[in-house]
Amino acid sequence: MRRPLPRTLRGQLTAGLVALLALACLAVGITTALALRGFLMGRLDEQLSASGGRFAASLEHEATPDADNRPDTRGQAEATFGARLLNGTVTQAAVVDEATDRPLPLTPGDRRALAGIPDDGHGHSIRLSALGRYRVTAVQGDDQDILITGLPLHPVEETVHRLEAVEAVLFGVALVATGIAGALWVRISLRPLQRVTARAAEVAGLPLASGEVAMPGPLPDTDPRTEVGQVGAALNHMLGHVEDALTRRHASEERLRHFAADASHELRTPVANIRGHAELALRHHGPVPAEVRHALERINGESQRMTRLVDDLLLLARLDAGRPLEHEPVDLTLLILNATDDARAAGPSHRWLLDLPEEPVTVTGDAHRLQQAVGNLLANARTHTPPGTEVTITLTAERTSVSVSVSDNGPGIPQEVQPEVFGRFVRADHARSRSTGSTGLGLAIVHAVITAHGGTATVTSSPGHTTFRLTLPS
């Protein structure tokens, strides 16, 4: 399997540094080995030229020499090879062994190799089956023969291999030391970039969607002469713009929140007056034209709807402002039973099912607000599903949390609406049937109440199955 390359910048820089040094070491090693080999081969060729073919010429004597015609081995190095060729055929071949000559048996391949050496006096490398690799020269003899003299290549190769081994050890140690030192140096050099990354991650983890946001301070690494300094300066500039935009957004939200609270508070009295006058007019015992009575009934109905809208807006404004809620034990089991009874009375055409634990479940919170949240979920299921829909309310108690689920087998909520279903004035009228009287704030109040209690509100929906889940800390 192919080994993956480092993904971090630090790993890539360190790996690149070590790779470049390895290439440099390889080039130096190859160059020095070739240079040493060439130098030693040149010295070997000089020795062969200096010998002048004397040892090979001495092989022209009888095959069994006596004291007077023994081959001349004086001054010849150990393992010197000599051979005599006449008419392309090797007639004699010997090697100096312990200051004397020793006849050397040759194979047909050895004879062909010796016969193929040009008599130009230059060095040539061959391999003899009984001796190994040799450096040989061939010169013309006095008797129209070819005199070949050779010296072993083993000392040259051994010296070159020893140099290669020493270089391999030294270069290996250098690569390891460079890798460690390079990694430390790169790590130190990239500390400013790490600070930029950490600051960007810190900003990415801030809740920027709503509320007041405390942005971190500027980065100190802003030297324009360095790349990291340029990135740090650009990040500081961008964070400044983001902080200014968030400050303006928060101020706008605060103004809108105060306006909603003030408007809702101020509208409660005139709306109540309109509703009171409409009810009073409807109680008149005298004859009232049908058109007038219908208009009064519409005024009364719309004033009631306006009252609910004002109350919901005022509640959301207070929750947004962080008004403290009551903290007292709340029996969720009893709360759900009461809310289900109310829903069953308001929607008798629906099937209302309960799935409650045997033991009562208690949490700490505001009983009135929790009752309102559960009631809004049931009202939502009743309002936005057709008659005959089955609605199941489930209460589950765990070790650290309590969850309330309201599920129905209605038409479901479109996928594009689900992320915004807890928003204000959000409706999915094109997918779920809707009766009049809804303000579009019911689920927003559910989310605000549960969030104020430190819990979460979620929804999952598909055609034929929709579940709203409220999770509260136990």
pLDDT digit string, tens, across residues 362-377: 999 888 889 988 998 9
208-222, 227-241, 328-342, 454-468: segment of lowest average pLDDT: 208-222
First to last CA, the chain: 51
**Count of CB atoms within 10 A of residue 205's CB?**
8
Return the higher-pLDDT residue of 439 and 234: 234
Which two tokens mark 409? 């087998």
Report H helices in 384-461.
442-452
pLDDT of residue 434: 42
Mean pLDDT on 457-461? 91
- How far lies 451's CA from each of 59, 325, 444, in Å? 110, 11, 11
In angstroms, the CA 12 to CA 150 distance is 53
How far is 16 from 7, CA to CA, in rounded Å? 12
Higher pLDDT, 23 or 8: 23
Per-residue pLDDT reduced to its tens digit, 156-178 = 999 999 999 999 999 999 999 98
- Residue 256 gets the label, from left (phi > 0), alpha (psi -120 to 50) or beta, of alpha
Tokens of 445: 């109040």
Question: Which residue would you say has higher pLDDT here, 461 or 289?
Answer: 461
